[in-house]
Amino acid sequence: MKPSPALTLKDLQAMKRSGEKISCLTAYDASFSAVIDQAGIDIMLVGDSLGMTVQGHCSTLPVSISDMVYHSQCVSRTRSRSFVMTDLPFMSYATPLQAAKNAAKLMQSGGAQMVKLEGANVETIRFLVTQGIPVCGHLGLLPQHINQLGSYSVQGKEPAQAEQILADALAIEQAGAQLLVLECIPAQLAKTISQQLTIPTIGIGAGIDCDGQVLVLHDMLGITPHTARFSKNFLADAPSISAAIGNYHQAVKQAQFPAPEHSY
């Protein structure tokens, strides 16, 4: 059987237009990359969440650009179909030029096809896009801002904050970003944003109406001791890890996950 060709941004954008849900899962190493790829997951996110899941830190802040390059290399070596996206870690994109240099490392050495950065950094996004670097935005709960936020809590509950998140989403799309992650925001706000944007939205704790869903691998396998409300242990009812990942993929594709109990 001939393997499926590697997914591109055009494929992901076509999924949004056709109404097909996009499945996304974090990946940090070659072994899991191969399993996730074989399960059919559309996007593998090499997330700076590796600071907690792999390195044992209490936040994503200690993760370096070298860490992200290394783990991107591991993931990209064994994938064949899944689209590979990598986080720019804390303080690696303080200026547009710094962002471009570090994004180049992730793409040239790490094998990433797209970089993700937190917040409405419109100027930086616009600069990266002009250099030929695909960008995914990230709004709502921003883990790299944990010392400002004080806790990992739902964002956008107040009308003024919800309006700002929507305005930021529109500005990020206008700047040229081609994907947008929405984390821990009310489901209705995520639905409004997803309807107003032409680029795909990927939700995590943002309800069923996003164009796709992402979870942290360790959370959906029940490895993390304390998981957020928006997560689900797919290994609990599966005979193997590969089956659990396949079940997650199908649940996203069939719009069965997230359920109301996983949303805000």
Q: What are the tens digits of pLDDT across the range 114-166?
A: 999 999 999 999 999 999 999 999 999 999 999 998 888 999 999 999 999 99
For all residues of the chain together, what is the average pLDDT? Answer: 97
For residue 4, being part of any structural domain is answered with: no
Check: CB of residue 254 under 8 Å from CB of residue 208: no
Residue 58 forms part of a structural domain: yes
> Residue 40's domain spans which residues?
9-262
- Which of 1-5, 57-61, 225-229, 245-249 comes out lowest in average pLDDT? 1-5
pLDDT in tens, 55-88: 999 999 999 999 999 999 999 999 999 999 999 9
At 226, the pLDDT band (50, 70, 90 cuts) reads: confident
pLDDT the model gives residue 4: 79
The per-residue pLDDT for 3 is 66
Structure confidence by residue, pLDDT tens digits, 161-215: 999 999 999 999 999 999 999 999 999 999 999 999 999 999 999 999 999 999 9
Q: Is residue 235 part of a domain?
A: yes
In a domain, 67, yes or no: yes
Residue 105 lies in a domain: yes
pLDDT category at 102 given cuts 50, 70, 90 is very high
Q: Is the predicted pLDDT of residue 1 greater than 80, yes or no? A: no
What tokens were used for 71? 């783990």
SS3 220: helix
Q: Which amino acid is at 32?
A: F
Flag whether 51 is in a domain.
yes
Q: What's the rounded mean pLDDT across residues 230-250? A: 97
Active site residues: 183
Of residues 62, 120, 127, 74, the one with CA closest to residue 101: 127
pTM of the model: 0.97
Residue 129's domain is classified under what CATH number?
A: 3.20.20.60
- Dihedrals phi, psi of 146, to nearest 5 degrees: -60, -35
The total of structural domains in the chain comes to 1
- The pLDDT value recorded for residue 193 is 98
Beta bridge partners of 215: 25
In a domain, 1, yes or no: no
- CB 263 within 8 Å of CB 207: yes
Whether residue 2 is contained in a domain is answered as no
